[in-house]
Amino acid sequence: MSKESRKLRRRERREANRMTWARKMREEPGVFWTYVILRTIVILVLIRSLFNGHLDNAIVCAFVLLLYVLPRFVENRMNIEIPSVLEIVIFVFVFMAEILGELDSYYLKYEHWDTILHTSSGFLLAAVGFSLVNLLNKSERVRVQLSPVYLAVVAFCFSMTMGVLWEFFEFAADRWLLFDMQKDTVLSRIATVDLDPTLSNTPVVISGITDTILELSDGSYYRLGLGGYLDIGIYDTMEDLFVCFLGAVTFSVIAFFEQRSEKRPLTTALALHKGKKPPEEAPAE
């Protein structure tokens, strides 16, 4: 491809983006202004992070800005329309998770912040899984009509799979980058077979733990002072998967009953659907 052709393609993409947002402002003002306001806040946080020398925070902001253009990419390139409600929820969810949760430490300031987000993600990911299969149901190229039960099961399985993959990502970040994304839990009682002197796989229960003392490699000691034993992430992981399960089940059950009725407010508001018009072809050179 020649240099002139690449320039022409870039101009065409910029014009397509401009027309997309012009249509959003006219037909979906809620989506447009949510995007503009949150994107502006993220850019300001990015500038502040760079000014203060917080490169890690700046990277998070850049990641959020990238996520914010994905819905538009999907609509333009894949000829899929994202409902206004779902698009607004995506923008707000990303802002709550990354900007408020990570940069403003809401995960530590508010006890149930992480739980709320993981429950919501389970619900929304089930909606995405439902949409992907439902698009096949409505496709003229696929001569298969999937039952409401199958749609609900696929939506649930998709959500749980994404939830597990996210926990894999968190564990990898903690294991190799020491990010501590899987937050710890302070316990006053533990049970472990590693302390069983008979090696008979009998768990030894230790109750009433009030503190933990670490012995470092240099022979020094460090008292945690947290009021108990420090669990390393397992409780947080299992709680995240459980609330993701609840969110996925909730959407899947609602979607099942809506598919069996004529009124479908939830799946209509959250489910993706094919664009009204196919993507415009690039003009011939």
Question: Over the stretch 89-134, which tens digit does the pLDDT of each residue have?
Answer: 999 999 999 999 989 999 989 989 999 999 999 999 999 999 888 8
pLDDT higher at 24 or 222: 222
β-strand pairing of 221-223 with 190-192: unpaired
State how far the Cα of 108 lies from the Cα of 100, in Å rounded to an integer.
11
Q: Which SS3 state, helix, strand or coil, does residue 84 take? A: helix
Q: Mean pLDDT lowest for which of 25-29, 68-72, 170-174?
A: 25-29
pLDDT above 70 for 66: yes
CA 26 to chain centre: 28
Tokens describing residue 127: 């909606």
State how far the Cα of 157 lies from the Cα of 66, in Å rounded to an integer.
27
pTM of the model: 0.82
Give the model confidence (pLDDT) of 14-33 as tens digits: 776 677 667 767 777 888 89
Give the model confidence (pLDDT) of 224-257 as tens digits: 999 999 888 899 999 999 999 999 999 999 999 9
209 neighbors 225 (Cβ within 8 angstroms): no
In one-letter notation, the amino acid at residue 77 is: R
273 neighbors 139 (Cβ within 8 angstroms): no
State how far the Cα of 273 lies from the Cα of 285, in Å rounded to an integer.
32
Tokens describing residue 221: 């000691």
Mean pLDDT of 167-174: 92
CA angle 17, 72, 34 (to 5 degrees): 100
